[in-house]
Amino acid sequence: MADSSTTSVRPVDSADEARWRELFRGYREFYHLPESEDIVSRVWGWLMDTAHECQGLVAEADGRIVAIADFRRFSRPSTGTVGLWLDDLFTDPQARGTGSGRALIARLQEIAADEGRSVVRWITADDNAQAQVLYDKVATKTNWLTYDAKPKEA
């Protein structure tokens, strides 16, 4: 596989659907999420809807999409700013360590700078050690813990 010097990053395009779906399914499997073509289709629809908050990037190496990143803007009331939230980052297992994840994060940092955003932020599983090797090089680990609460039943 190629290294980061031959990796290019661009917005996801409708022609990328089959490969994006393959990688997004891999992302969901990696995080032990249940198989759901409904969810895969819904998220693809969001990415193709210019009015939706979610956007996507792809990293290509040697003419093949090797990684995806889905992101959105988020308000930060505590600082009165807006940041970029990286929801999903997934690299084809055969392309890991070749710079595609780094290239996607770098592109998000460029977008944030161009738009005057305050931060690029993401979360990862605490046992995702391979990704954390990269994340520790390109970002600062925070001391914030994440909690999820279910909506109350009606």
Question: pLDDT at position 99, please?
Answer: 94
Whole-prediction pTM: 0.92
Q: Tell me: pLDDT of 138 over 60.
A: yes
Of residues 3 and 52, the one with the higher pLDDT is 52
Q: What was the pLDDT predicted at 1?
A: 43
pLDDT at 2 over 80: no
- Architecture of 4-138 per CATH? 3-Layer(aba) Sandwich (3.40)
Q: Which long-range contacts (CB under 8 A, 24 or more apart) does 74-80 make?
A: 74/121, 76/118, 76/119, 79/118
pLDDT at 154 (0 to 100) = 82
Full strand arrangement of the beta sheet holding 7-11 = 7-11, 55-61, 64-76, 81-91, 120-121
What pLDDT is attached to residue 6? 83
Percent of the chain surpassing pLDDT 70: 97
- The mean per-residue pLDDT over the stretch 9-24 comes to 98
- Which residue(s) pair with 24 in the sheet? none
Residue 118: DSSP 8-state = S
pLDDT class of 5 with cuts at 50, 70, 90: low
What is the identity of the amino acid at 142?
Answer: T
φ, ψ at 52 (rounded to 5°): -80, 150
Mean pLDDT of 70-85: 98
State pLDDT tens for residues 102-135: 999 999 999 999 999 999 999 999 999 989 999 9
Are residues 61 and 1 in contact, defined by beta-carbon separation less than 8 angstroms? yes
Average pLDDT, the chain: 94
Q: Does position 4 have pLDDT exceeding 90, yes or no?
A: no
Q: Tell me: the pLDDT tens digits for 22-51?
A: 999 999 999 999 999 999 999 999 999 999
Contacts of 109 (CB under 8 A, 6+ apart): 120
